[in-house]
Structure 1
Amino acid sequence: MAEPAESIAEVVRAVPGVYDLHGGMFGEVATYLPRRRVVGVRTDGETTEIHVALYVGAPIRETAGRIRDDVTALVGGVVDVTVEDIVPRDEPS
């Protein structure tokens, strides 16, 4: 069974316009699990922080709203979305 942070990351990456999750300015946004971490997701069960990079041209407010809605449907509580970067579509992943 996947950890909640891993499930959240999967849902976020499936949103159109999302390039990937982002660790924040110093890589501080993450959930630490045994032998691994989920970058860009931090949750305490009541509040979930999502930090992302979007593709150029993705509508920022609409994409952030879709992320918030999809994650809220998955875990409930308060979901805060921060767009950290905008990435050209030809950027290698």
Structure 2
Amino acid sequence: MGFIRRENKKFDYKPRYYQGEGNPYEVKHKFDEYRTTVGKRKNLKGKFNAALDDLKESGYKFNKTIVIIALLLTLAFLFIIDFDLSIFFSKKN
């Protein structure tokens, strides 16, 4: 009954002209070496903590251009919907 139970054939294929290091067929993401969320801690909490640690190290910086654009878009939206700013400055007698 040797024809029923067979082992899968294993091939050790090496490309003929490959001169690099490691396995050329290994699937690796392009930016894994620069990410802080890839590594030992693979669960969601570990990734979140690693991202927070990275944010604390680099410091929180904001882009002034984005803030100005957001303010202009907000003011344009308020102008379009005809929002009355006098409700904030009205004096009650």
> One fold, TM greater than 0.5?
no
TM-score (norm 2): 0.27
- Say which structure, 1 or 2, has more relative contact order (CA 8 Å, 6+ apart): 1
TM-score (norm 1): 0.27
Higher strand share: 1
Higher helix share: 2
